[in-house]
């Protein structure tokens, strides 16, 4: 992982391989952002003109590299666009800083040390810059051969110094530590999502969680296929039984001695979703290694909470299975006896996420947590509705849904509240079971949410995040978001835990 430091040095004298500065889009052309005064001075006060001549406008995502003039220690200046110049008196938006820092970090692959001289107003903006830089510097190196490709010689940026940070100030120190912990855990989730399904199955996923649990002092429990059969986990077994890689239910627990609240996080962990007997056609299965992104987010969030030592109990439930067709696979028309006692007719084996989540939600409810949040790459319908950057938030409690939506916004994740219309429930009625695993196609993401809701314990506040769109990024990288696994929802879950620890929620 990239190292992060706060520095009081001047942009002119700090030893670094590159100096990152901000440029905003002003009414009459690019404007050099605060933090880069010493750099502008080294350019005889003509930096904005130089940048404009080079074609820079200050627009979001723009990166302009220029050689340093005499007077700067760093040999290269990287000017990164911050977007519209904020109105007088307003600071730069934290997400604009996060994205700009991420862009710069991506442009600095192969560089050792970069100093970020972006506008730092307070600990919050320093944290945003640090987080963005560490997330932008991510590259997938988690395969057992050490690299994504055999000839992969790209070394991510190894050291980030934030100028204008106050290393002896308590708030700044905490902000930097938080940025480091959160970014490391978002990157952990990305690594897990990027691992191909021949490198990650329910058993090896559980082993990774066990190793981390040991490292961070978390309680770890796992149910293997024998225990799942014995315990009556018909949803998890029904989905996993077609694969040579049997399912697992993992529980990781973080507790704080003074905690007043307990949060349960439940993640969909389908390490590969072929669709099962209702096989997905070519064109729909190439990225389905990403179908465990919910479980990865939950795992990463619990570790982040442990690293931060938050005063709240957080239990992570990972519903791990591989959805494959075989002679032993669940058939469309089969009826499963779920862990809750309900029966479910499987009309489509590709609607498998809700089946594994149902068992995990029932199990999580048994411990009577104050709230449950599940995270899942659940439906293509949610991608059709909200596109590939926004996750949907559904809940059995209006205030809790609003809280999650606002928290997502606060940490720079894009989310949108979605309803759970009761009238869609009857489309899941089944003549042979309590319900079917599929209902009407219209509003498919909401139908899936309604299915899950039936497995949440009475009186427990519950929210469902459908991250099918943003979990895996197939287009060109932008801001701090790389191609592939994104770590979607980790930052939202961590902030939810912080807010819960602070007593801000119910």
The residues binding ligand BES (CB under 6 A) are 273, 291, 348, 350-353, 377-381, 383, 438, 444, 468
**Which strand (E) or helix (H) includes residue 115?**
strand 113-117
Q: Closer to ligand BES at the Cβ: 278 or 500?
A: 278
Residue nearest Zn ion, CB atom distance: 273
Residue nearest Mn ion, CB atom distance: 350
* Secondary structure class of 203 (helix, strand, coil): helix
191 is in an annotated binding site: no
Q: Which stretch, 324-332, 349-357, 361-369, 486-494, contacts Zn ion (CB under 5 A)?
A: 349-357
- Strand 461-466 and strand 18-26: the pairing is unpaired
Q: Which of 94, 95, 225, 273 contacts Mn ion by CB under 5 A? A: 273
Neighbour count for residue 377 (Cβ, 10 Å): 32
Q: Are 245 and 202 in contact (CB under 8 A)?
A: yes
Is 350 one of the binding residues for Mn ion (CB under 5 A)? Answer: yes
Active site residue 280: yes
169 is in an annotated binding site: no
> CA–CA separation, 276 vs 154, rounded Å?
37
Residue nearest ligand BES, CB atom distance: 380
Least distance between ligand BES and beta carbon 434 (Å): 18
330 DSSP 8-state letter: P
CA distances from 210 to 192, 299, 341 (A): 14, 11, 29
Is 353 one of the binding residues for Zn ion (CB under 5 A)? Answer: yes
429 is in an annotated binding site: no
Is 466 one of the binding residues for Mn ion (CB under 5 A)? Answer: no
CA distances from 268 to 113, 255, 297, 343, 398 (A): 38, 22, 9, 20, 23
Q: Closer to ligand BES at the Cβ: 330 or 377?
A: 377
350 is in an annotated binding site: yes
> CA–CA separation, 370 vs 263, rounded Å?
6
Active-site pick, 41, 73, 143, 280: 280
> CA–CA separation, 231 vs 227, rounded Å?
6
Active site residue 354: yes
Least distance between ligand BES and beta carbon 183 (Å): 24
Q: Which stretch, 14-22, 119-127, 202-210, 342-350, contacts Mn ion (CB under 5 A)?
A: 342-350
Is 191 one of the binding residues for Mn ion (CB under 5 A)? Answer: no
| Partner touching 192 among Zn ion, Mn ion, ligand BES, none, CB below 5 to 8 Å by kind | none
Least distance between ligand BES and beta carbon 349 (Å): 8
Least distance between ligand BES and beta carbon 502 (Å): 33
Residues 282-321 that bind Zn ion (CB under 5 A): 291
273 is in an annotated binding site: yes
Q: Closer to Mn ion at the Cβ: 95 or 466?
A: 466
**Closest among 149, 148, 136 to 109, alpha carbons compared:** 136
Active-site pick, 25, 106, 354, 363: 354
Is residue 159 exposed (0-12), middle (13-18) or buried (19+ Cβ within 10 Å)? middle
Least distance between ligand BES and beta carbon 479 (Å): 21
> CA–CA separation, 102 vs 81, rounded Å?
11
Least distance between ligand BES and beta carbon 398 (Å): 26
Q: Which of 273, 322, 374, 466 contacts Zn ion by CB under 5 A? A: 273
Q: Are 473 and 284 in contact (CB under 8 A)?
A: no
Is residue 447 exposed (0-12), middle (13-18) or buried (19+ Cβ within 10 Å)? buried
> CA–CA separation, 256 vs 261, rounded Å?
10
Is residue 229 exposed (0-12), middle (13-18) or buried (19+ Cβ within 10 Å)? middle
Q: Which residues are annotated as a binding site for Mn(2+)?
A: 268, 273, 291, 350, 352
Binding site for Mn ion (CB under 5 A): 273, 350, 352
Annotated binding site: 268, 273, 291, 350, 352
Residues interacting with Zn ion, by CB under 5 A? 270, 273, 291, 353
Indicate which residues carry an active-site annotation: 280, 354
């Amino acid at each position: 992982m990239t190292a992060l430091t706060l520095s009081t040095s001047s942009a002119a004298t700090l030893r670094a391989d590159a100096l990152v500065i901000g440029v905003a889009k002003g009414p009459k052309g690019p404007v050099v952002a605060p933090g880069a005064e010493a750099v502008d001075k080294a350019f005889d006060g003509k930096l904005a003109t130089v940048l404009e001549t080079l074609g820079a406008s200050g627009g979001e995502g723009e990166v302009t590299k220029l050689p340093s003039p005499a007077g700067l220690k760093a040999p290269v200046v990287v000017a990164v666009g911050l977007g519209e110049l904020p109105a007088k008196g307003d600071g730069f938006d934290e997400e604009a800083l996060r994205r700009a820092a991420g862009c710069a970090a991506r442009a600095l692959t192969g560089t050792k040390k970069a100093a970020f001289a972006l506008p730092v107003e307070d600990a919050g903006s320093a944290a945003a810059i640090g987080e963005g830089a560490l997330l932008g510097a991510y590259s997938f190196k988690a395969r057992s051969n050490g690299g994504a490709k055999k000839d992969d010689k790209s070394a991510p940026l190894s050291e980030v110094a934030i100028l204008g940070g106050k290393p002896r100030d308590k708030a700044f120190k905490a902000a930097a530590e938080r940025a480091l912990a959160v970014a490391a855990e978002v990157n952990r989730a990305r690594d897990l999502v990027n691992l191909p399904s021949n490198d990650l199955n329910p058993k090896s996923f559980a082993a990774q969680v066990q190793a981390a649990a040991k490292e961070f002092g978390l309680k770890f429990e796992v149910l293997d296929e024998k225990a799942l059969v014995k315990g009556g986990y018909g949803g998890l077994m029904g989905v996993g039984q077609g694969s040579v890689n049997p399912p697992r239910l993992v529980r990781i627990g973080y507790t704080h001695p003074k905690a007043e609240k307990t949060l349960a996080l439940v993640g969909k962990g389908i390490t590969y979703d072929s669709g099962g007997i209702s096989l997905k056609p070519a064109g729909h299965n190439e990225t389905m290694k990403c179908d465990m992104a919910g479980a990865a987010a939950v795992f990463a969030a619990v570790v982040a909470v442990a690293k931060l030592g938050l005063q709240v109990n957080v239990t992570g439930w990972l519903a791990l299975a591989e959805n494959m067709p075989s002679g032993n696979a669940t058939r469309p028309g089969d009826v499963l006896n779920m862990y809750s006692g309900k029966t479910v007719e499987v009309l489509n084996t590709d609607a498998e996420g809700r089946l594994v989540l149902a068992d995990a939600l029932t199990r999580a409810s048994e411990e009577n947590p104050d709230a449950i949040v599940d995270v899942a790459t659940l439906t293509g319908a949610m991608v059709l509705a909200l596109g590939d950057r926004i996750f949907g938030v559904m809940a059995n409690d209006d205030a809790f849904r609003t809280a999650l939506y606002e928290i997502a916004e606060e940490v720079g994740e894009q989310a949108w509240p979605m309803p759970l219309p009761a009238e869609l429930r009857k489309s899941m009625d089944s003549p042979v079971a309590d319900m079917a695993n599929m209902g009407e196609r219209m509003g498919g993401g909401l139908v899936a949410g309604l299915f899950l809701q039936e497995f949440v314990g009475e009186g427990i506040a519950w929210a469902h995040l459908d991250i099918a769109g943003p979990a895996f990024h197939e287009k060109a990288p932008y801001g701090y978001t790389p191609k592939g696994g994104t770590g979607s929802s980790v930052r939202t879950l961590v902030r939810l835990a912080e807010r819960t620890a602070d007593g801000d929620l119910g």
